[in-house]
Amino acid sequence: QDKTYTIGVSVPTADHGWTGGVDFFAQQAVDRLQKAYPNLKFVLATAPDSTKQAADLEDMVTTRNIDGLVILPGDPDAMTASIKKVKDAGKWVTVVDRALSQPGIPDLYVAGDNPGLGKTTAEYFKQAMPNGGNIVVLRGLPIPIDKQRVDAFMAGIEGTNIKVLDQQFANWNRDDGYKVMQDFLTKYPNIDAVWAQDDDILVGALKAAKEAGRDDKMWFVGGAGMNQIIKMVEAGSKQVPVDVSYNPNMVATAIDLTALHFVANAQVDGTMIINSTLITKDNAAQFDYPNTPF
């Protein structure tokens, strides 16, 4: 109990709402645990790209002598080699959300479920429009997790009469969500539903539809569980009947478990999947975290 441990936490820079949430929950967990366990020290670093994130890992090992690492790799494929180096240096490794391109590296993998998000959303669309309908898809950035979500969604609505009129990238960003939606509205006279894939995009898309006076003719599904959207679902909004969780909070879970490994050497290794569940009016309350900036 007297031995002190240093845990490195490496997360992406808050370059959009969700990663902002990740940073927030990571910071929160670190502060909480440092109070709770005097013999735990944390090193928190945020990285805008994999070059920086790789550098952060090197620095943590070389200059901060970490005993364990919790990492949410911005670009898992690019980070695999660097994370393997940490592992080979004999450190405990917890990977969050995104799967590395090489199996068997992490001691603990707290997996986000990107395909799951697409699948769950597809399920809802199927039961919400049994006789099919016209929908548009606003995607994130052209990176793998976006692809996983969209592919799973497409597979999910396979064989139904749900027709995807169009899909464009809205870069997980409100302005682009707004622009793309505006143009979709110009382009398609009747849209029955919109999958915005992420709640930041959703905010923009909603605004566009509202301005065009067509927000009551269609409904929207976002993703991730941004507080502002959760509140709408909770209030039983017609435009936003549900949301699909993809909770940045998972990073806190990972940090907690890793901490437990060191202070209580509890059995925490293995894989733990954080499911993307459907958030409805009924269960929204349990996703409505107080004073989150996300």
Partner 1 sequence: MSTAATEQQTPPPRPARIRFRLGALGPLLALLLLMILGAALNGNFLTVANMANIVARASFIGIIAIGATFVITSGGIDLSVGSMAAFIAGMIIIIVNSLVPSLGAGWGSVGIGIAAGLVIGLIGGAANGALVTIGRIEPFIVTLGSLGIFRALITFLANGGTLNLNFQASDTYSPLYSGSLLWIPVPIVIFVLVAIVAEVAMRRTTFGRHIAAIGSNEQVARYSAIKVDRVRLTTYALQGLLVGLAAVLYVPKFGSANSSTAVLWELQAIAAVIIGGTTLRGGFGRIWGTVVGVIILELIGNILNLQNLISPYLNQAFQGAIIIIAVLLQRSRRTTA
Q: Does 178 interact with partner 1 (rule: CB under 8 A)?
A: yes
Residues 56-95 that bind partner 1 (CB under 8 A): 56, 58-60, 62-65, 74-75, 77-82
Output the CA torsion 124→126→128→129 (10° steps): 150
Q: Does 97 interact with partner 1 (rule: CB under 8 A)?
A: no
Residues 1-60 that bind partner 1 (CB under 8 A): 13-17, 20-21, 23-24, 27, 43-46, 48-52, 54-56, 58-60
Q: How far is the CB of 81 from partner 1 (least distance, A)?
A: 6
The two beta strands, 68-71 and 92-97, are parallel
| Residue of the chain from 99, 112, 129, 139 that contacts partner 1 (CB under 8 A) | 139
Please, which residues bridge with residue 219 across strands?
193
Q: How far is the CB of 188 from partner 1 (least distance, A)?
A: 9
Residues 192-211 that bind partner 1 (CB under 8 A): 200, 203-204, 207, 211
Give per-residue burial for 43-59: e unless 16+ CB within 10 Å, then b: bbbbbeebeebbebbee
Specify the 3-state DSSP secondary structure of 137.
strand
Q: How far is the CB of 93 from partner 1 (least distance, A)?
A: 18
Q: Does 288 interact with partner 1 (rule: CB under 8 A)?
A: no
Q: Does 167 interact with partner 1 (rule: CB under 8 A)?
A: yes
Mask for 222-261, x = binds partner 1 (CB under 8 A): ----x-x---------------------------------
Furthest C-alpha separation in the chain: 68
Specify the 3-state DSSP secondary structure of 208.
helix
Q: Which residues contact 93 (CB under 8 A, 6 or more apart)?
A: 68, 69, 71, 83, 86, 87, 105, 106, 107, 108
Q: How far is the CB of 14 from partner 1 (least distance, A)?
A: 4
* Interface segment toward partner 1; rule CB under 8 A; list 89-97, 126-134, 178-186, 237-245: 178-186
Q: Which residues contact 129 (CB under 8 A, 6 or more apart)?
A: 162, 192, 193
- The tokens for 209 are 């539809």
Q: Does 149 interact with partner 1 (rule: CB under 8 A)?
A: no
